[in-house]
């Protein structure tokens, strides 16, 4: 799933507006003046890479770019302004017949390189460099060489799954191979461009990029020294089946939840649970303590208006609790209360007629599973379609095992995070995965950290503090610092600008605590300042 996702039309508008705003901000910051030409020697070293043969492919273009230069990130997408000068290397890799992976390696000038590589995960079904570019842009500005890919295919959008129709090698590229090939490609290019050897390599991905991060750790433990995995979309076949189940429930007569009902749910859940942490801030710090039942909003006999009908209560309960399998047991976790009516959450992901859950699951079962472009989502049956998807595709797409011993054995570090108000992928799913990792390998306790972010939506944004330095935290940990126990996050008036380093006003800071600890207010200081909070285990 995609870091910035809504309905297809809404998402396109959001992305276009956001990236256009970024471009305008960059122009303002530079006064609209053209960027200075790159030093000749640096430019020559860059262009000399063009045409270079690589294992499994070739460099098609190598272009020196200056700060403020426009970087195209995919068809129909506005350009992204470069935050620092770099050499843009574009390669096409063909590891097997039927595979064609577009890989980009962004190389800071030799004097600015910190000796490290950061791999960037993609989102949704991939399709272009739009999501990786957001991560790569910031990494290059900090001196990292960076790499990303299109996951081995072109799509009309990141919710377009038609490329997977009868294309097993492209599915393998998307599932696990593209990022491995990208890592190998980046290391070849780095060795050719810089005189010094690579000192460390990291990977950062969120949503499907989080799944990709865990796939790298599990299948290719030597690719990266340390990894950041946010809100991982795992295991893919079970998650997609849960998406389809959610969409199916909401299509039942009278079950739809519109904006009025979502706002009712949010208002009621916050009224019941916002103050459980002693702070009234519009954010539920620990949703696990919230005992909210949507039946509290059910319409009394004869009532209309601001209440829920019995079918709406049932569909809301389904979303909070998660779908159940044919055996009546929990099939996949549900979603936390507290941000039901927020823009970009339940409406976009779950309850709209063209919700992201409906679109992703429809495309997945249509093209990946049934190989039938005409397959209607109304035919979905959890009891039969999930076993079929798992049997056919689990080997390529799923992270089912919690065994990361090979990665940890070589000294690997894994930093994970998930927003509690994520309406794309249930936060409890990540908590469960970390629990299974530690159950399988208790010694991993010093190698893995999970940070839950109250009020954070899918990968970023939301009513709570959601902008934090995951890469800097991981780097300090990898270099020998103590395992992180606290990361300070900021809520900006424009979270996207804050994330990308453009002018934005900080409204609040709050510590994210290493799970299972949560932030506790000291009862004295400002509730908008992280210094007023400590990290403590609930109930102690």
Same structural domain for residues 134 and 18? yes
| Residue where the block lists tokens 């009516």 | 341
Please indicate, yes or no, whether residues 219 and 321 belong to a single structural domain of this protein. Answer: no
**238-261 tens-digit pLDDT:** 999 999 999 999 999 999 999 999
Are residue 311 and residue 366 in the same domain, yes or no? Answer: yes
393 and 404 together in one domain: no
How many C-alpha atoms does 372 have within 13 Å on its Cβ side? 8
Q: What is the pLDDT of residues 293-303, one digit of tens each?
A: 999 999 998 87
pLDDT attached to residue 157: 81
Count of alpha carbons within 13 Å of 52, Cβ hemisphere only? 20
Structure confidence by residue, pLDDT tens digits, 157-178: 878 999 999 999 999 999 999 9
Whether residues 22 and 149 share a domain: the answer is yes
| Structure tokens given for 329 | 């047991």
Backbone angles phi, psi at 531, to 5 degrees: -65, -15
Contacts 24+ apart (CB under 8 A), 173-177: 173/99, 173/101, 174/125, 174/126, 174/396, 174/397, 175/215, 175/236, 175/393, 175/396, 175/397, 176/215, 176/219, 176/396, 176/397, 177/95, 177/99, 177/101, 177/152
Q: Which of 198, 223, 253 is the last residue of a domain?
A: 198
Which residue would you say has higher pLDDT here, 41 or 32? 41
b/e for 118-155, b at 16 or more Cβ within 10 A? bbbbbbbbbbbbbbbbbbbbbbbbbebbbbbbbbbbbb
**Which CATH number does the domain housing residue 450 bear?**
3.40.50
Residue where one domain finishes, among candidates 397, 431, 453: 397
User: Tokens at residue 540, please?
Assistant: 């102690």
pLDDT at position 74 is: 76
pLDDT at residue 24 greater than cutoff 60: no
| pTM attached to this predicted model | 0.92
- Give the DSSP per-residue string, 336-403: -SS-TTSTTSHIIIIISTT-HHHHHHHHIIIIIIS--TT--GGG--HHHHHHHHHHHHHHHH------
Mean pLDDT of all residues in 408-420: 97
Domain count within the chain: 3
- Cα gap 181→183, rounded to integer Å: 5
What positions carry a catalytic annotation?
A: 207, 422, 458
Residue 343 shares a structural domain with residue 332: yes
Do residue 327 and residue 444 come from a single domain?
A: no
Contact 35, 64 (CB under 8 A): no
With a pLDDT cut of 70, the percent of the chain lying above it is 92
Is pLDDT of 473 > 50?
A: yes
Residue 27: predicted pLDDT: 39
Q: What is the mean pLDDT of residues 111-128?
A: 94
In tens, the pLDDT along 5-21 reads: 333 333 343 343 344 44
pLDDT at 349 over 90: yes
Say what the pLDDT of residue 176 is: 98
Sheet containing strand 101-107, edge to edge, reads: 53-54, 57-65, 86-93, 101-107, 145-149, 116-120, 200-206, 226-230, 413-419, 448-453
Which residues sit opposite 200 in a β-bridge?
116
- Per-residue pLDDT for 28 more than 50? no
262 and 121 assigned to the same domain: no
Tell me the CA distances in angstroms from 537 to 273, 291, 485, 520, one per residue in order: 18, 19, 12, 9
pLDDT interval class at 143 (50, 70, 90): very high
What integer pLDDT is reported at residue 35 of this predicted model?
40
pLDDT at 44: 85
pLDDT over 90 at 42, yes or no: no
Half-sphere exposure of 264 (CA within 13 A, CB side): 20
| 161: DSSP letter | -
Chain-centre distance for alpha carbon 450: 15
Task: Report whether pLDDT(492) > 90.
Answer: yes
Last residue of a domain, one of 397, 432, 466: 397
Tell me the pLDDT band of 540, cut-offs 50, 70 and 90: low
Low-confidence winner among 3-12, 18-27, 371-380, 476-485 (lowest mean pLDDT): 3-12
C-alpha count within 13 angstroms, C-beta hemisphere, residue 305: 3
93 and 228 part of one domain:
no
The confidence score (pLDDT) of residue 501 equals: 84
Identify whether residues 226 and 365 lie together within a single domain. Answer: no
For residue 227, is pLDDT > 50? yes
Task: State the pLDDT at residue 19.
Answer: 43
- Identify whether residues 381 and 410 lie together within a single domain: no
Question: Domain span at residue 374?
Answer: 238-397
Residues 428 and 369 in one domain: no
């Amino acid at each position: 799933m995609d870091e910035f996702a809504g309905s297809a039309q809404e998402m396109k508008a959001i992305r276009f507006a956001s990236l256009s705003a970024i471009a305008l901000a960059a122009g303002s910051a530079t006064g609209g003046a053209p960027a200075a030409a790159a030093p000749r020697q640096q430019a020559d070293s860059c262009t000399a890479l063009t045409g270079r043969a690589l294992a499994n492919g070739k460099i098609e273009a190598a272009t020196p770019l200056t700060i403020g230069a426009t970087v195209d990130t995919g068809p129909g997408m506005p350009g992204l302004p470069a935050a620092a000068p770099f050499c843009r290397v574009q390669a096409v890799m063909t590891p097997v017949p039927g595979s064609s992976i577009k890989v980009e390696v962004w190389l800071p000038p030799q004097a600015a390189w910190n000796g490290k590589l950061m791999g960037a995960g993609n989102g949704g079904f991939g399709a272009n460099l739009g999501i990786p570019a957001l991560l790569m842009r910031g990494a290059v500005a900090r001196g990292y060489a960076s790499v990303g890919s299109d996951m081995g295919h072109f799509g009309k959008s990141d919710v377009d799954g038609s490329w997977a129709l009868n294309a097993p090698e492209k599915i393998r590229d998307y599932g696990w191979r593209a990022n491995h090939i990208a890592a190998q490609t980046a290391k070849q290019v780095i060795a050719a461009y810089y005189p010094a050897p690579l000192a460390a390599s990291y990977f950062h991905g969120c949503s499907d990029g989080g799944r990709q991060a865990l796939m790298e750790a599990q299948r290719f433990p030597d690719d990266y020294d340390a990894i950041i995995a946010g809100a991982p979309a795992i295991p893919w076949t079970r998650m997609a089946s849960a998406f389809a189940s959610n969409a199916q429930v909401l299509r039942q007569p009278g079950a739809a939840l519109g904006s009025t009902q979502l706002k009712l749910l949010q208002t009621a859940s916050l009224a019941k649970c916002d103050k459980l942490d002693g702070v009234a801030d519009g954010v539920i710090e620990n949703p696990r303590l919230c005992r909210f039942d949507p039946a509290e909003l059910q319409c009394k006999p004869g009532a209309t208006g601001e209440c829920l009908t019995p079918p709406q209560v049932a569909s809301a309960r389904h979303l909070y609790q998660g779908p159940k399998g044919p055996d009546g047991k929990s099939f996949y976790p549900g979603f936390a209360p507290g941000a039901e009516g927020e823009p970009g959450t339940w409406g976009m992901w779950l309850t709209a007629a063209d919700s992201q859950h409906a679109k992703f699951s429809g495309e997945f079962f249509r093209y990946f599973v049934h190989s039938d472009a005409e397959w209607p989502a109304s035919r979905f049956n959890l009891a039969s379609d999930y076993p079929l998807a798992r049997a056919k595709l689990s080997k390529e797409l799923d992270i089912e095992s919690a065994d990361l011993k090979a990665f940890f054995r070589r000294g690997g570090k894994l930093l994970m995070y998930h927003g509690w108000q994520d309406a794309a992928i249930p936060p409890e799913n990540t908590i469960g995965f970390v629990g299974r990792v530690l159950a399988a390998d208790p010694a991993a306790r010093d190698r893995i950290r999970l940070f839950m972010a109250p009020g954070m939506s899918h990968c970023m944004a939301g009513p709570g503090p959601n902008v934090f330095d995951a890469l800097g935290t991981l780097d300090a940990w990898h270099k020998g610092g103590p395992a992180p126990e606290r990361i300070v996050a900021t809520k900006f008036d424009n979270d996207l600008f804050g994330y990308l380093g453009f002018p934005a006003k900080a409204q609040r800071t709050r510590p994210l605590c290493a799970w299972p600890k949560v932030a506790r207010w000291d009862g004295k200081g400002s509730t908008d300042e992280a210094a007023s909070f400590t990290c403590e285990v609930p109930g102690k």
